[in-house]
Amino acid sequence: MRISNRVGKTPALRWNSWFVDLGLKQLGYKYVSIDDCWSQESCNGSGYLVPDPSKWPNGIRAVVDKIHGMCLKFGLYSDAGIETCAGHPGSQGYEQQDADLLGSWGVDYWKYDNCYTLCNGENPVPQRCCIPRDSQAWYTTLGNAFRSVNYPILYSLYSWGLDNVWTWGGSMCLKAGPTRQTGYYT
């Protein structure tokens, strides 16, 4: 589901090195998005996400500027839990810090997964699980953080079709207004 405010008109397309040459840009695809493992396996001493220098020798901002120079938009991935699905740092407890960092880099799209969050009350250890649970609070925390960032970011709530995201996901985005962010969830 998409909020009608001009952002996210087409499905977000993942990385394709022939993006422009194949004519995908002319068909309306605008987002070049990098999934898990783009960051180092730990944050820096201040808790900030750090791009893996072997993959991003000039940093994220240099790549974003190049993508924007091609009239395309750039996206990254993270997680509502303490780790991403592949074990890199998640955003739990650092939502505002991560939102501010993304805005400073000019990131246009943020895929937000749901790994390493609490699965149920019986097992309080965060873990990967594919069972319905109440994930609305995790997604709302980052949604609130995005509201204070003065940069429009397409916020993709990814929960593998669980947790009835389609019933509440759009409402958190409507509060932000059409110039700040929009919601897209799967």
19 found inside a domain? no
pLDDT of residue 85: 85
DSSP 110-159: EEEE--SB--BTTB-S-B---S----HHHHHHHHHHHHTSSS-EEEEE--
pLDDT of residue 58: 96
pLDDT of residue 163: 78
- Distance CA(55)–CA(57), nearest Å, equals 6
17 found inside a domain? no
Q: Could you list the residue range(s) of the whole structural domain that residue 67 is in?
A: 31-185
51 found inside a domain? yes
pLDDT of residue 11: 64
Determine the angle formed by the axes of helices 95-105 and 136-147, rounding to 10 degrees: 50
49 found inside a domain? yes
pLDDT of residue 63: 96
Question: Considering its fold, how many domains does the chain have in total?
Answer: 1
pLDDT by position in tens, the chain (length 186): 555 556 666 666 555 555 777 787 888 888 888 999 999 999 999 999 999 999 999 999 999 999 999 889 999 999 988 888 888 999 999 999 999 999 999 999 999 988 877 665 555 555 666 666 678 888 889 988 988 888 888 888 887 777 788 888 876 664 443 344 444 444
Query: pTM of the full predicted structure?
Result: 0.80
- The residue among 76, 97, 100 whose CA lies nearest residue 88 is 76
- Three-state secondary-structure class, residue 64: helix
CB-CB contact of 132 with 162 (8 Å):
yes
pLDDT of residue 60: 97
pLDDT of residue 179: 41
60 found inside a domain? yes
- The residue among 137, 91, 93, 94 whose CA lies nearest residue 115 is 91
CATH number at residue 55: 3.20.20.70
- Distance CA(10)–CA(2), nearest Å, equals 9
- Distance CA(67)–CA(95), nearest Å, equals 25
4 found inside a domain? no
pLDDT of residue 81: 86
- The residue among 37, 76, 102, 98 whose CA lies nearest residue 158 is 76
